[in-house]
Structure 1
Amino acid sequence: MTTLNDRPNTALLVVDVQNGVVADAHERDAVVANVAALVDKARAAEIPVVWVQHSGEGLEKGSAEWALVPELTPSPAEPLIEKSYGDSFEDTTLESVLADLKVGHLVVSGAQTDACIRSTLHGAFARGYDATLVSDAHTTEDLTKWGAPSPAQVIAHTNLYWGHQTAPGRTAGTVVTEEVAFKTGV
């Protein structure tokens, strides 16, 4: 379990599911549908949903590219964390929001697998959080022209290594959307 004291709760973290981030993403529609299903499950179980939104080159705050995809609508009561680095914890209010919610376990979804998802998973784990990656609810764009593996390979590799991630006092792993079962109030 988490190495953070008095943090028994779980939260769903939705990272960068923005128009400009997922426009050309691998299996975009299926991944967005899985994220939407996770949001519905979390809300039904009264699990906090925490949204993360990236700003930067090509994602100017307030632009159409910066906006979350139309299929996903945060509730006004759900925290929205604005970031400008890959790790959703870096120079943001995410840690204080999670502390206030007594969250020690994150269920992670979103984009991009090979950037903000990996950075946030590692950032969470290094900070003492348990971190579960939803294996069919994250995606990336095709970066093969710059020497990267195909998006399907990037996603598969991330799922493989995160499924075997270990550290003292913390848990990691992967789960498919269908098998995510949030417990009410935890």
Structure 2
Amino acid sequence: MTTLEGRPATALLVVDVQEEVVAGAYERDAVVARIAGLVDRARSEQVPVVWVQHHDDGLELGSDGWAIVPELSPAPDEPRVDKTHGDAFEGTPLADVLADLDVGRLVVAGAETDACIRSTIHGAFTRGFDVTLVTDSHTAGDKSAWGAPPVDQVIAHTNLYWQWQSAPGRTAEAVPAAEVRLGSGPGS
């Protein structure tokens, strides 16, 4: 139902599953394993996988901490997008990459729930994409020392509000990895 005309395809968007970003993240190993399963399913169903990697003053482009975690291996033909803002669309070629693939629906997994995941799902939705948030395949580090709720509550809250997100001509859903449809859209 995307508002992007002629864009029937779905892509799996893997956001910031990088060494330094997920080091010490809540349920890191289980989340990464579920993302690896989604990547395998997407590849077997010929659904594009698009990788996003963050860099900034504290996370140097090309550094060991910037690298995708070893459990995940982007294929040589899978697009990779470098970003410097929370929203993976801001200041990047992501919109063009997805247009070239005829993508109108995104299945989103990765890190960090309370920053780049939240910014990217909203950014995608406002740009006309249908967005599926994979409820058990995003994580974050503990920021409770700065007043944030515990990570499990941040994840639960994000999953809760995203399932009720709405806008004309677009769909939002929040589903666990085992229930994700990688076809062209909801119900497929």
| 2:14 aligned counterpart, secondary structure | strand
What is the match of residue 80 of structure 2?
A: 80
Shift of 1:24: 1.1
TM-score normalised according to structure 1 size: 0.97
Q: Residues 105-184 of structure 1: matches in 2 within 5 Å? A: 105-183=105-183
- Alpha-carbon distance in structure 1 between the residues aligned to 2:183 and 2:56: 36
1:70-95 deviation digits (Å, cap 9, x = unpaired): 00000000000000000000000100
Contact 2:9 2:183 in 1 (8 A): no
SS of structure 1 residue aligned to 2:51: strand
CA distance in 2, matches of 1:33, 1:57: 29
Taking structure 2 as the reference length, the TM-score comes to 0.96
| Runs of 5+ consecutive residues of structure 1 not aligned to the other structure | none
Higher alpha-carbon deviation: 56-65 or 140-149: 56-65
1:100 and 1:181 map into 2 onto residues whose CA distance is 21
How many pairs are equivalent? Answer: 185
Alignment correspondent of 1:66: 66
- The alpha-carbon deviation at position 59 of structure 1 amounts to 1.1
Code of the residue aligned with 2:141 in structure 1: it is E
**1:180: how far off?**
1.7
Identical columns (%): 64
1:41–1:181 Cα contact (<8 Å) kept: no
Q: Return the alpha-carbon distance in structure 2 between the equivalents of residues 122 and 158 of structure 1.
A: 11
C-alpha deviations, 1:85-141, integer Å up to 9, x for none? 000000001000000000000000000000000000000000000000000000000
Q: Is the 8 A contact 1:20 1:58 kept in 2?
A: no
| 2:22 aligned partner | 22
